[in-house]
Structure 1
Amino acid sequence: MSSPAAAAERISDDATNNTIPASDEPRDKEADTPPAAKKSWKFWSVFFSLCLLSLSTSIESTIVTTALPKIVDDIDMGSKYVWVGNAFLLASAVVQPFIGQLANVFGRRWPLLIVTACFTLGSGIAGGATNAGMMIGGRTVQGLGSGGIYVLIDIVVSDLVPLQERAQYVGLVLVTGAVGATIGPVLGGAIADANWRWVFYLMLVTGGLSLIYLFFFAHFKHEEKRWKQALAEVDYFGAVVFIGSVTSLLLGLVMGGVVFPWNSANVIVPIVIGAVGWAAFHVYEATSFCKNPMVPPHLFMNRTAAAGFVLAFDAALLLYYVVWFLPIYFQGVRGDTPLQSGVHQLPFNIVLIPAAMIGGGMVTKLGKYLPFQYIAFGMMAIGAGLFTLLKASSSTVAWAWFEIIASIGMGMATTTILPAIQASLTDADVASMTSMYAFLRSFGGIWGVTIPSVIFNSQVNNFLDRISDPNVRNQLADGNAYGYASTGATASLPEDVRNEVLGVYTDALKTVWQIAVAFSLAGFVVVFAVKQLDMSRQNDTKFGLEEDRPKKVTEMEKGEKSEGSATIIPSSEVEES
C-alpha cells in the first residue's frame, strides 16, 4: 500500500494540473458498484455498542444544564459552576486529534475501551463529588473519554462499511446522539428533583454496558507491533504543543464575557498564546523534524478535504448558534418559561433527526453528497434569514416553520460533509481525517456560543438607552441580558418598561441572526470548492472487524477450488491430508 502522502498526492485536485483520479471518472454505477454485503451479527453488536455510547455521551453533554442549580447549591460551588460545563467541553475537544493517532498506532480496540472506561470513571467521580474540585475533576475525566468516543465512533464506522454506505450508518449513530441531546435537559430536570447524583450515575450503567459489549465483541484487525516500535510512532511533541495551545485558546474563549471581560488580559493573553501555538504546531508538523505527524499536512492540501473541514466547522458553529439563541427569543421576547421554551423548540429538534437520516440515506443511495451540501447551507441561510423577522407578536405557525427550515439544513449538513472529506483522501487517512473533522466540529461549537453571545451583549449595551428604568438597565448591562431572559422577570415589569425591554431583545437578536445568515452564505460559497468524487470504492483498511477465522479446507476442496477459480488459499488454512 502506498504511503498516505503519496496516495493523497495521487488523488489530490492539484491546482496546477487540475487532474482528477481515475476513480472519479463517470461510471455505470449499477454495473460497477457491488451490492451492499450482508452485515454479520458481530457487526450489529459493535454497532449497537457505538450507538449506546453516542446516546450516553450526548445525554451527558446536555443533562447537566437543568440539574446545575441543585448541584451548585448542594456542594456549594459558587462562581465555579461555569466549569461544570466548560471542563467537559474543553477536555473533549483538545484530545481528539491525538486519539486519532493512537487509533492508528495501537489499533481501534484498546483506545475505544480506554476512552469508554475513562468516560464511565469520570461519571462515577462526578456523581460522588462532595466539593467543586472533585466535580470539575470528574467532568474533566468525563470529557476526555467523551472526546475520544466521539472520534472513535466515526473512525470505527468508517472501517466497518464502504465509503458510499458510511453516511447512512454515521447518520444512524448521530440520530441516537441527537435523541440523547434532546432528552438530556428533560431527563436532567426529572432526575434532579429526586437525586442529582443520578444525573452522573446513570452513565455508569450505560457506559458500563457499552464497555462490556465492546470488550466481548469489538475485535478489530490491526498490524501487530512491539511496544517499543508503537510508542516510537506517537507524535508526543506535537501532541503537547497542540493540546496546550488549543486549551489556552479555548480557555480564553469560554472565559470571555463570563468570568472576565473580553478586553481583560486574562482573556486576550490565552487567546493570543493559543493562536500562535496552534500555528507553530502546523509548521512543526510540516517539517522533517516530525517523523509521524499527528495531523498530516497533506490533509489540507486536497481542495475537497480542506473545504470539507471548513464546512464542518461552519455547520457546527451554526447548530450551536441556533440551539443557544432560540431560547432567548422564546424566554426573553415571548416571555416563555424554560419548560415552554423547550416545548416550542421541538419543531427544530424533531426535524433535525429525520433530516440527518434522509441526507445520509440519499448519499448512500445516489452516491452523491454535493447536491445535499448546497441544500443544507441554502436552507440554513433561509432559516436564519427568517429568524430575523421574529417578534413578540409572531404567530406559532411562523416560528415553527422557521425552525423546521433551519433544522432541515442543519440535519443534512450533519451527514453529508464527512463523506466528501473521506472520498477525497484514502482509507489510510481515515483516523487522522476523521479526528480532525471531529475536533473542528467541537471547535466550531464553541465559536457558535461565543460569537452570538458577543454580538448579543454588545447590541443590548448599544440599545440600553431606550429603557427608561435605570434599575432594569443595570440588570441587563454587560452580559447579563442572557441570564435575565430566563428568569421570567420581564413579565412583572410595568407595561411600558416591558415593551422597551422586548424591543431591545428583538433588535439585538435581529443582528445575531443577520450574522448567522452571513455564516450560512459563507458555507454555501465554500461548497463550490467541493468536488463530487466517486464513492463506489470498497474499503481498503487494515482495521476492519475481525471476523471468525475461515474454516480449514481439505486438499480435495483446495483442488476443486483451484479448478473452478483463481482463488488462492493460504497454506496456513489448508488442512494436511
Structure 2
Amino acid sequence: MLRLHPLVTKENRLYPLHFFRQPILINMQVQVFLSSGIVLAMTYYVPLYFQFVKGDGALEAGVRLLPLIMFMVVASMFNGFLMPKYGLIPIWYIGGSTLALLGTALMYTVDENTSNANIYGYNILVGTGTGCYIVAGFAIVQSLVPARDIANAISAMAIAQDLGMVCFLAISGSLFHNIAVEKVGKALPEVASAEIGNLIAGSSSKAFRRLSEAEKALVIPEVASAMSSVWTFFLAAAALSVICSVPLLVSSP
C-alpha cells in the first residue's frame, strides 16, 4: 500500500497490513464478524417470524428476543470474568461456536408448527454460544500486539464487527426477499411482485392486512419456508466459525 500511495505514512495507513503476519489477529476479526452478524440478524428475523407465523404484534414479537439476548449477555459476562483468570481461549471459541452451530441448525428445522418453547431453546443455544466469544477477541488482540498497535487492533476489531452486522443484514435480507417473493408469488399468482414485496415487509403492513384469512393461510407457510434460507445462512456462518476456531488449539496466545 505504501508503494501505491507513497505519501501515506505507516502510522496513517487505512488498515494495518502487518497484522496479516499474525494469522490469529485475522482469525479474531473473522470471528467477531461472524458472531456479531449472526446475533444482529437474528434480532431482526426472530421477531419477524413471530409476527408472521404466530400473529404477534411488534412489541410482543420483540419480547420474544429476551432468551437470545439475556443468555448472550450472561455468557459474555462469564467469559469476561473467567477467561482472564483461566485462559482456555480455544475452549471458549470452539465450545461457543459449536453451540451457535447447534442452535442455528435447529432453527433451520423451524416451520409454522414449531412451538414457541422450542424456538426459545434454539435461541438460547445461539445466544449462549455467541456470548462465549463475541467480545473476547477485543481483549485477546490487545495482548498480541505492541502497545503502539493497540489502538489499531481495537479499531480493526470494531470495523470487523460493524461489517459483520451490515453484511449479514444485507445478505439475509436479499435471501429472504427473493425467496419469499418467489414462494408467495406461487401461492398468490394474481398478486404483482411489487405488492408481494410490500406484503412480506411485516404482518402489520397494509398489504398483509388486506389479505383474507384464506390467503393468509396460504402465505404464512411460504414465509416460514422462505425464512429457512436465512437460518441456512446463519448455519453456514456458524459452521465457518467452528472451522476458524480449530486453529486456535495450536496458535492460542
Counterpart of 1:362? 82
Return the offset for 1:325.
1.0
User: In 2, Cα distance between the equivalents of 1:372 and 1:486?
Assistant: 40
Whether the 8 Å CA contact 1:374–1:527 is kept in 2: the answer is yes
Structure 2 residue identity aligned to 1:382: L
Counterpart of 1:293? 12
The counterpart of 2:55, out of the listed 324, 330, 335, is 335
Structure 2 residue identity aligned to 1:494: S
Whether the 8 Å CA contact 1:335–1:491 is kept in 2: the answer is no
Residue deviations 1:174-220, cap 9 Å, x none?
A: xxxxxxxxxxxxxxxxxxxxxxxxxxxxxxxxxxxxxxxxxxxxxxx
Structure 2 residue identity aligned to 1:410: T
Counterpart of 2:226? 508
Where 2:99 maps in the other structure, the secondary structure is helix
Counterpart of 2:235? 517
User: In 2, Cα distance between the equivalents of 1:468 and 1:324?
Assistant: 25
Where 2:247 maps in the other structure, the secondary structure is coil
Whether the 8 Å CA contact 2:200–2:223 is kept in 1: the answer is no
Counterpart of 1:326? 46
Question: Structure 2 regions of 5+ residues with no counterpart?
Answer: none
TM-score by length of 1: 0.41
Task: Say if 1:285 and 1:330 are closer, same or farther in 2 by CA, change over 3 A.
Answer: farther
CA RMSD of aligned residues (A): 2.3
Return the offset for 1:366.
0.4
Larger Rg: 1
Structure 2 residue identity aligned to 1:510: S
Counterpart of 2:214? 496
1:24-423 alignment, distance < 5 Å = 283-284=1-2, 289-291=7-9, 292-294=11-13, 295-423=15-143
TM-score by length of 2: 0.89
Provide the identity percentage.
18
User: In 2, Cα distance between the equivalents of 1:428 and 1:504?
Assistant: 54
Task: Say if 1:334 and 1:472 are closer, same or farther in 2 by CA, change over 3 A.
Answer: farther
Question: Structure 1 regions of 5+ residues with no counterpart?
Answer: 1-282, 534-577
Task: Say if 1:422 and 1:388 are closer, same or farther in 2 by CA, change over 3 A.
Answer: same
Counterpart of 2:177? 457
User: In 2, Cα distance between the equivalents of 1:346 and 1:491?
Assistant: 27
Return the offset for 1:420.
2.9
Where 1:484 maps in the other structure, the secondary structure is coil
Where 1:515 maps in the other structure, the secondary structure is helix
User: In 1, Cα distance between the equivalents of 2:152 and 2:41?
Assistant: 27
Report how many residues are paired: 249
Task: Say if 1:285 and 1:396 are closer, same or farther in 2 by CA, change over 3 A.
Answer: farther
Whether the 8 Å CA contact 1:335–1:488 is kept in 2: the answer is no
Whether the 8 Å CA contact 2:185–2:191 is kept in 1: the answer is no
Counterpart of 1:207? none
